[in-house]
Homo-oligomer: A and B are copies of this chain.
Amino acid sequence: MNRISDATITRLSRYYRSLVHLETQGQEMVSSKELAKRHKVTPAQVRKDLSCFGQFGTRGLGYSVCQLKETIAHILGLHRIWKVALVGAGSLGSALISYKEFKRQGFHIVAVFDNDPHKVGKKRRGLTISDITKLPKIVKELDINLAVVAVPTTAAQSVVDILVKAGLKMILNFAPETLKTPPGVTIRNVNMAIELEALSYRLVASEMSRLDGKPKLSSI
């Protein structure tokens, strides 16, 4: 139980959303069975995930929806506001600024950066785009906790270097490349193209197996 896996944390996030939903429905208790069904996992998985952090249920009854929701919010740090710096004011960056789910969960984008002189000074939904060189100063001033990188692949590594130098420890990266970070800095990657490629692989594989009954191709 030493280190909790990313998989567990991700599932907690999902459970949390179900709990919010169930609460609005007025449901008071929920069992691991019900929660499991909503998320395509086993009830044991749900219980194990929760047991990493303590005992929150009542045998015979299940979990209190409201209480479990609050507990998970605390675990995930959703009860507080996180200040987020966004780097990259292209179309993806702009979409992230107006992405409601971020704000709903307490992630407030409070600064936007770009290196394009045409964009610097312009506004995006009320936020003025700053030059990337101002980042260290602004991160300090606003006490920013997290960074989101939405720049082209070629620029991603140098942006991350800047973020690390500015003292940021948590980075969400949208560029489809593995980036170098010193120990102590956590980077998570969101890879939209790579996700599509995983689907495309399955599509190819299923066509293969449909054609010749063999799910595996050894030589191409």
Name A146-199 residues within 8 Å CB distance of B: 146, 148, 152-153, 169-172, 176-178, 186, 188, 190-199
Would you call B14 and A107 a contact (CB within 8 A)? Answer: no
Would you call A107 and B193 a contact (CB within 8 A)? Answer: yes
Given contacts A17-B177, A76-B201, A146-B196, contact A91 B98 (CB under 8 A): yes
Q: What is the CA–CA distance of A177 and B13 in the complex, to the nearest angstrom?
A: 10
Q: Which residues from chain B contact A82 at a C-beta distance below 8 Å? A: 196, 200, 203
Would you call B53 and A217 a contact (CB within 8 A)? Answer: yes
Q: What is the CA–CA distance of A81 and B220 in the complex, to the nearest angstrom?
A: 18
Supplied contacts A90-B95, A105-B196, 18 more A-B pairs, CB within 8 Å: A4-B205, A13-B193, A53-B216, A53-B217, A75-B201, A75-B217, A76-B197, A76-B201, A82-B200, A82-B203, A94-B95, A100-B152, A101-B153, A101-B176, A105-B193, A170-B202, A172-B192, A172-B199
Chain A residues with CB under 8 Å of chain B are 1-4, 6, 9-10, 12-14, 17-18, 38-40, 53-54, 71, 74-78, 82, 84, 90-92, 94-96, 98-102, 104-107, 145-146, 148, 152-153, 169-172, 176-178, 186, 188, 190-206, 215-220
